[in-house]
Structure 1
């Protein structure tokens, strides 16, 4: 699974927790000075996930204020951009004369190579904690004009609509459930996250033409994939409805999938079949008719579902369910496998 490093101050007595956090921040690539009214018992946690081209940090901490000064920058300048998603509490961001208040579900963006101030306050100051997910992006990795980025510093961007919502969902999923991914997925996940971040920032620059064509293509494809996954149960899902939802022509949608060596229709079909196959082996759904499962995932026609399932897996849906749900058959298969290995 993806590697995650965790720092949790609760492993120490309350009086030593804030010092532990200050040491952690001092060791990061972009250290800051921090103040908190909760320094006497600073209950905090940080989860670090390295995705190759980008790094993610999922923070949970009491209310605090922080500043990165010119002196600290001279001591350590990793040349990083910071894209921060507030997930709980209210944040503040200030850089190059721009000040913003950041609510839960919103992003802010700043350059760690320039002085800046940030704050984050829990909704319930006495016992609550604020939380955020920071995406660290090397200057050299972001394919946008550096001279244009200052327009975004200290600003606020939505994480609840369009590309911003897709990026927020990606960050929450990866940092919240790293065990669901293989280590081999690291670089690909990093590329997806960087593409989404690049596209969102490019759109807020009102200069999408500044975003490289290939980055835009991959970001749009990720958006289309997410849309298909959300609407698999809709029997009317089709290349036309997908194209309409993304304000592109069907021809453009087909070209988008040509590079993936696939078609829109086959992608929809394969995702639906995968959901059906999963549900057919779910013990909790054993009493549900096969056709009810098929209809749930967009296959209202029984004969059509049986035909495409058999073509994909070489077995009928009912036979597949029986071969994977009957404990006796499972035991027999396991015994056969063991005996075969011994015979070899």
Structure 2
């Protein structure tokens, strides 16, 4: 299920609210990011999770805590402060106040902290879907809304907390694709955010199959996340070659074993 990019795995197609308390509540938050409360015993948090195809939306209200990277998945988190103040571990970077944003790469080290209660809205996107350079140009998101494109992006993302199509539907896939396109346009404004050619996606998927064929957890869902497309689109692309994703994996295993012997 593509909703695995969520901090907490929500049921497919559901907008889910979690009330989290104490040490156990902080532990449940620490999946793709590690959350350390300033006062573990008195920690209180409310998390709204919205799965939407290859992307996910979260709203977090919590007491004082620090947040560090804890993910092996290559995800980008776009964090907007809605209330309170969020500080960087780097003293040269000014804190984020309501209406300001940052983009963090969960595969790279980072540390954010809130010394008081804070409200955050977060969009989680697979890094591969954005086709970004090696260094994430996150500074483009630090300022408040300054352009029509950023305003459109913010309006679309914020609406997910109120109303979003059920995950797994065609509407969810279209909306996720639109969000990824807008995000890519903001991060790389000189490049038109077009959909990656089908042949290139299939090539990258086949490379992952050849590299990880011995991994028992390798399957269509894992491959789709790695190449940054929905599982539905991945199946559709492989069908154009008269071969399903599962058949491609199955046919590659004996071939690789014969080469190894």
TM range (shorter): 0.5 to 0.7
TM (norm. structure 1) is: 0.47
Within 5 Å, which residues of 2 pair with 1:38-49? 39-49=40-50
Aligned counterparts of 1:154 and 1:94: Cα–Cα separation in 2 = 19
Is 1:21 equivalent to 2:25 in the alignment?
yes
2:87 maps to which residue? 92
Deviation, 1:211, is 4.0
Deviation, 1:59, is 0.7
TM (norm. structure 2) is: 0.61
Aligned counterparts of 2:25 and 2:145: Cα–Cα separation in 1 = 28
Deviation, 1:84, is 0.7
Looking at secondary structure, tell me which structure has more helix per residue: 1
Deviation, 1:31, is 3.2
Unmatched 5+ residue regions in structure 1? 10-16, 203-207, 216-344
CA displacement, residues 247-267 of structure 1 (integer Å, 9 cap, x when unaligned): xxxxxxxxxxxxxxxxxxxxx
Deviation, 1:213, is 4.8
Is 1:186 equivalent to 2:172 in the alignment?
yes
CA displacement, residues 128-180 of structure 1 (integer Å, 9 cap, x when unaligned): x4111111111211133x2242x4269613236422222222222111234xx
Contact 2:85 2:97 in 1 (8 A): yes
CA displacement, residues 46-93 of structure 1 (integer Å, 9 cap, x when unaligned): 11111112111111111222233xxx4xxx411111111111111123
Please identify the structure whose Cα radius of gyration is greater: 1
Aligned counterparts of 2:22 and 2:110: Cα–Cα separation in 1 = 22
Across the aligned residues of Structure 1 and Structure 2, the Cα RMSD in angstroms comes to 2.8
CA displacement, residues 267-294 of structure 1 (integer Å, 9 cap, x when unaligned): xxxxxxxxxxxxxxxxxxxxxxxxxxxx
Within 5 Å, which residues of 2 pair with 1:32-181? 32-37=34-39, 39-68=40-69, 72=70, 76-94=71-89, 99-121=93-115, 125=116, 129-144=117-132, 146-149=133-136, 151-152=137-138, 156-159=142-145, 161-178=147-164, 181=165
Aligned counterparts of 1:211 and 1:94: Cα–Cα separation in 2 = 34
